[in-house]
Amino acid sequence: MEEKEFEKYCQFIRVINGLISEHFEDQKEYIHCKEGCAHCCKNGEYPCSRMEFEFLKIGFMTLPIDTQQKIVNKIVQLKAEKSVFQGKKFIHECPFLLDDKCSIYRFRMIICRTFGLAYYEQSEDPEKPSTIKSPFCMEQGLNYSDVFDKETKTFSKEKFLKTGNKKEPVAYNLGLENLKSKFGKDIMNLDFGETKPLLDWL
Ligand code: SF4
Ligand code: SF4
C-alpha cells in the first residue's frame, strides 16, 4: 500500500469509526457487545476488499513473530478445511482471533467495525421495502434480541414498549457498499479493488 493511499484510507477509517461509534452509542440499550464476546469472529466468511487486506497486512507485520506464527498455523489449517468444501460457503473462525481477542484490532476490516448494529441496505428497486438485517447474535439472546421480530424481520413496537427503553431501535444504512461508496469512493476517491472472502486473500 503506497503512503498516499495509506493516509487516505486512515482518514476514511477515522470518518466511518466516528459514524459507527455514534450509532453504537445511540443504540446502546440494545447492544450486548463486551470484551471477550467473540461469536461474531467465529462464524463468518469476512468479506474483505483488496485495500482492507493491504491495511490488515500492515497490522499483521507489527505483531511479534510468535503471534504471527500462530496466525499462519491457523490459516494453513483453515485453508485445508476449506479445500474440502469445493467452492461452497465456508463459515469459519477468523484466523486473526487469538484467545477470543482480535490480534489486529486497529487494522480490522470494515465489516468488523459495523458488526453488532442492525442495518439495512437500500433496495435498488424503490418500490421494494428494505428489510432489516439484525446481527446473528440476536438469535443467541444478544443484540436486539428483545425487540426484533424474526417473522416479519423488523422491530416489534409491542416488544419495544415492553422494554421500557426511551429510544426506539434503529436500523442504519450500513451496508458495506454504501459505506465504501458514500465515504470512500465518492468523497476520498479511494479504489477498494476486488472484494472476496478473507481466506481467499491469504
Ligand atoms: S456483535 Fe454480538 S457476538 Fe459480536 S461482540 Fe457484539 S454481542 Fe458479541
Ligand atoms: S479481523 Fe478481528 S474483528 Fe475482524 S473477524 Fe477477525 S478477529 Fe474478528
Q: What is the pLDDT of residues 51-73, one digit of tens each?
A: 999 999 999 999 999 999 999 99
Closest CA relative to residue 141, chosen from 27, 32, 24:
32
Identify which of 56, 100, 108 to mutate to test ligand 2's pocket (most ligand atoms within 8 A of the CB): 108
Average pLDDT for residues 151-159, to the nearest whole number?
Answer: 89
The number of the ligand 1 atom at minimal distance from the alpha carbon of 137 is 2
What pTM did the predictor assign?
A: 0.90
Cα gap 173→91, rounded to integer Å: 25
CA atoms of 3 and 7, how far apart (whole Å): 6
Minimum mean pLDDT range among 32-41, 123-132, 174-183: 123-132
Question: Is residue 15 classed exposed, middle or buried when 0-12, 13-18 and 19+ CB atoms within 10 A define those classes?
Answer: middle
6 Cβ contact partners less than 8 Å away, ≥ 6 residues apart: 55, 58
Q: What residue type is 53 in one-letter code?
A: F
- Which ligand is nearest the CA of 74, by number? 2
Average pLDDT score, the chain: 90
Distance 108 CA to ligand 2 centre (A): 6
The domain tally of the chain equals 1
Q: How confident is the model at residue 127 (pLDDT cuts 50, 70, 90)?
A: confident
The predicted model gives 24-30 an average pLDDT of 94
Residues within 6 Å of ligand 2 by CB: 41, 46, 94, 96-97, 102, 104, 108-109, 112
Domain that holds residue 129: 3-201
Q: Which pLDDT does position 95 carry in this prediction?
A: 98
**3-state secondary structure (DSSP) of residue 52:** helix
C-alpha cell at 153: 424481520
Q: Classify residue 164 by its DSSP letter.
A: T
Query: Where is average pLDDT lowest: 19-23, 127-131, 153-157?
Result: 127-131
What confidence tens digit (pLDDT) does each residue in 79-106 have? 999 888 777 889 999 999 999 999 999 9
Distance CA 80, CA 64 (A): 25
Task: Indicate the top mutation candidate among 13, 46, 74 to test ligand 2's pocket, ranked by most ligand atoms within 8 A of CB.
Answer: 46
